[in-house]
Amino acid sequence: MSSFRLQSRHYIVDDDGRIIIGEGRGEILENIEKTGSINLTAKIMKMSYKGVWSKIKATEETMKVKIVQSNRKQGSSLTREGKELLRNYKILKEKCLKADDRIFKSIFK
C-alpha cells in the first residue's frame, strides 16, 4: 500500500452555516496585516478587491464587529477584534491538525 496522509480544512461558521473564518479568510487577514492594503492583498491572492472586501464584510456582519479598519491615508489594518480572531483561528487550526494527525495515525497505522 502506498503512503498517504490526512488533509484537513477547518472553518468556523455561525448557527446558519455562514463562514466566519476559514483558510481563505485567514489568509486575507494575514495579508492585510503584512501589507497594510486590501488592494495588495487582493493582488497577492489573485482575487478582485470587491471579492476580498465582501468576505471581510460578511465576517463583520456575522460577528457584528469590525475586523478591518481602512483609511485612505493610513491604509488598512486589523482591529483588535480582527487580530484576536486571526490569532485564535491559528491556535485552533494548529491544535486541530495535531489532533487530526494523532487520530489518523491511530487508525491508519
- Above 80 in pLDDT, residue 86? yes
φ, ψ at 92 (rounded to 5°): -60, -45
Domain map of the chain by residue range? 12-107
Alpha carbon 55 to its chain centroid, in Å, reads 10
pLDDT of residue 72: 86
Q: What is the mean pLDDT of the chain?
A: 95
Cα–Cα distance, 11 to 25 (Å, whole number): 10
Q: Across 39-86, where does the E strand assignment appear?
A: 68-71, 75-78
The percentage of the chain sitting over the pLDDT mark of 70, rounded to a whole number, equals 98
Report the CATH number of the 12-107 domain.
Answer: 1.10.10.10
Its pTM stands at 0.90
- Is residue 1's pLDDT more than 80? no
DSSP character at residue 77: E
Q: Over range 48-71, report the average pLDDT.
A: 97
